[in-house]
Amino acid sequence: MAHQPAHRAASKTRSVLLTYEAQSFPRSGEVDRAAAAAHEALTTAARIGAPCCVALVHDLVPAFTNYRSTEGVPELLELARAS
């Protein structure tokens, strides 16, 4: 199917953009939004088989370890461990 490569490219781009978004939210105090963006980025990257995108999110994970009680962070940390 011709649309699959385009869909994969769009998903990969979205994953990268969400990762950049996730990087910016903690600086503004929006750790929950950062965790949600990182979770979605990691889920998307894993689904489409984009190891570079997965690695980008994994690079962010240490920044979340001090926020384990913040909404969305435990789920992100678990997903990162599993991927």
Residue with the larger pLDDT of the pair 35 and 9:
35
pLDDT in tens, 4-14: 677 888 888 88
Range of the domain at 75: 3-82
* Percent of the chain whose pLDDT exceeds 70: 95
Total-model pTM: 0.86
Distances (CA, A) of 2 to 5, 7, 8, 11, 12: 7, 9, 11, 15, 17
| Gap between the Cα atoms of 68 and 66, Å rounded | 6
Number of domains in the chain: 1
pLDDT in tens, 41-62: 999 999 999 999 999 999 999 9
Whether the CA torsion 40, 41, 44, 47 is positive or negative: it is: negative
| Gap between the Cα atoms of 5 and 22, Å rounded | 25
Angle at CA of residue 26, ends 66 and 22, nearest 5° = 110
